[in-house]
Amino acid sequence: MYLSAKYIFRINKTPLENGVLKIDKDGTILKIFKYEKNKHQSIDIQFFDGVLIPGFVNTHCHLELSHLRDKIPEQSGLSDFLAYVGKYKKEEFDEEKLIAEADNEMYINGIVAVGDISNTINTKEIKKQSKIFYHTFIEVIALNPDECKYKIYNAFLLKKEFNENTSIVPHASYTASEKLLKQIRKIAKHDNKTISIHNQESAGENKFFLNKTGAIADLYEKIDEDISYFKPSKKTALQTILPSLPSETKLLLIHNIYTSETDIKLAEQYSKNVFWCLCPNSNIYIENKLPDVNLFLKNNCKITIGTDSLASNHKFDFLDEIKTLQNNFDNLTFEQILEWATLNGAKSLNINDKYGSFEVGKKPGINLIENFDFTEMKPTKESFLRKIIF
């Protein structure tokens, strides 16, 4: 099968005008070449009016929260958002149906691989049946050092229920003791798997570590959780936890809304394996604020993109995430953002041998963007995506 478009975004090379993809029946890339009328007119080529791009890699999602779509008020702030999640977790819902619908929504919208957070076994069966590749991050919450041992034990029990593409990970700085982080670092080093952690999603996280004040401290008080054992480090959240995070394996820092340039520099010096995941629409939904993307560009950071959950996003639409970044940062090119949404994501999950770019031997999925602005070389407000080949 031969597929062509006005431009093919290969990701690892410059966009190929009038490029052609020769693919096998299963979607494997067999050859990539530029169409020449005199040379290739006898070949049966399917032409598309738009641009062809690889499938998206969603590096941060909570599939198990799919029942919370449109239930939590927007721009309520992280601490109130977490309180709402805790409240609605107790509700009854058709769990399997809603998770299956969310999985299918990602599939239709051209997402081929997902880094998904799990606290329960609820997504197991859907992931087994899904056409999407999932790396499951088994999340552990234990700010109290005394809880570390049994929380890790429970995480291992849950890990056995999923396939081999799993990691045991901390939830966030403010829910992880130093003891827990060091234990997870040992596990990561042994398994050689990517670790993720929510990072500086709210201003309250830094305040919590600087002087034990702010929204996170208030949240613990609100839920009547005794944290008298916690002593503030008088540093930012990331600066506090960084020495206990793995430098040997890949590390996904998620959200990074309140991450300073000093934090970025320290993390980049600490490890060459750091990936910075942006979740634009989720950040606007919860905090009504985006990370300073230009700080990450300035420091040559490896950026990825995530949707977060349907608790904090109206839809699983990666093209819309790209449009949000374009609309808020005029200096970003579509080619830059697309690399974050594909190849960088695949690298962060250690699946770039198959996903993330158009290269011979890969099976990355093929998406078409129509109503594309070929003058500015970027999607427009009216652009939409069609999945061509998974």
Interatomic CA distance for residues 354 and 75, integer angstroms: 37
Over residues 214-234, the mean pLDDT reads: 94
Tell me yes or no: is domain 56-348 CATH 3.20.20.140. Answer: yes
Q: What is the pLDDT of residue 174?
A: 97
Going by C-alpha positions, the residue among 276, 238, 285, 284 that lies closest to residue 255 is: 276
Interatomic CA distance for residues 381 and 108, integer angstroms: 19
Q: What is the pLDDT of residue 91?
A: 66
| Mean pLDDT, the chain, integer | 95
Over residues 42-46, the mean pLDDT reads: 84
Residue-wise pLDDT tens digits, 267-316: 999 999 999 999 999 999 999 999 999 999 999 999 999 999 999 999 99
Point out the least confidently predicted range of 32-46, 94-108, 341-355.
32-46
- State the pTM of this model: 0.96
Q: What is the pLDDT of residue 367?
A: 98
Over residues 341-362, the mean pLDDT reads: 98
Q: What is the pLDDT of residue 39?
A: 73
pLDDT of 252 above 90: yes
Beta strands 366-373 and 166-170, pairing class: unpaired
pLDDT of 29 above 90: yes
The letter for the amino acid at 203 is: A
Over residues 324-347, the mean pLDDT reads: 97
Q: What is the pLDDT of residue 315?
A: 97
Q: For domain 2-53+362-389, give the CATH number.
A: 2.30.40.10
DSSP 75-115: T--HHHHHHHHHHHTTS---HHHHHHHHHHHHHHTTEEEEE
Over residues 188-194, the mean pLDDT reads: 94
How many helices (H) and strands (E) are present in the chain, helices listed first? 15, 15
pLDDT of 387 above 90: yes
Q: What is the pLDDT of residue 12?
A: 87
Residue-wise pLDDT tens digits, 55-96: 999 999 999 999 999 999 999 999 899 988 887 766 666 778
Q: What is the CA radius of gyration of the chain?
A: 21
CA angle 320/323/324 to nearest 5° reads 90
Interatomic CA distance for residues 377 and 43, integer angstroms: 28
Domain ranges for the chain: 2-53+362-389, 56-348
Interatomic CA distance for residues 308 and 281, integer angstroms: 9
CB 279 within 8 A of CB 69: no
Give CA separation, 243 vs 32, 92, 289, in Å.
44, 41, 28
pLDDT of 179 above 70: yes
Q: What is the pLDDT of residue 90?
A: 63
Residue-wise pLDDT tens digits, 124-172: 999 999 999 999 999 999 999 999 999 999 999 999 999 889 999 999 9
